[in-house]
Amino acid sequence: MIRQTKLKFNFPTVTAAKKLNGSSQRRNRQFVMNVYKDQYQKFWQVAKAVGVIIYLELKHKMGMEGAGNFYTIANSMLEETYSISRQRKYYAIKKLFAEGLIKVSKRRGKNIKCKLVMK
């Protein structure tokens, strides 16, 4: 009969998470540069939470791709990440455009492209 023995391995355990640039939580966060409170509040007043998400998405894309362009806000991203339907997105864009906070570029059969007017 073969006896099984329990082997004990002494592997060094890592108790503290490996830090990346000072924090272990920074890996999965997105950074949005130049977000201003007054602009944030104007978007909130006009279109509530959907307006703020549109503002943050446009600011993020401006930081990544450069200012002065029109950017699409993907329906799939809003649906998956924030559970916002495309109808709510278009309604918020319509309100923001009427208020003069964004410019809109429309093409038939394509997603609406937006651009921040505020500086």
For residue 96, the domain's CATH number is 1.10.10
- Is the model's pLDDT at 14 over the cut of 70? no
Residue 73 falls inside a structural domain: yes
Segments forming the whole domain that contains residue 44: 40-50+66-119
What pLDDT was estimated at residue 67?
86
Q: What span, in angstroms and rounded, lies between the C-alpha atoms of 116 and 101?
A: 6
Write the pLDDT tens digit of every residue in 20-77: 555 555 555 667 778 889 999 999 999 999 999 999 999 989 988 888 899 999 999 9
In terms of phi and psi (left: phi > 0; alpha: psi -120 to 50; beta: otherwise), the region of 110 is: beta
Q: What span, in angstroms and rounded, lies between the C-alpha atoms of 31 and 43?
A: 19
Residue 98 falls inside a structural domain: yes
DSSP designation for 102: E
What pLDDT was estimated at residue 24?
54
Distances (CA, A) of 100 to 17, 21, 42, 61, 97: 46, 39, 11, 20, 5
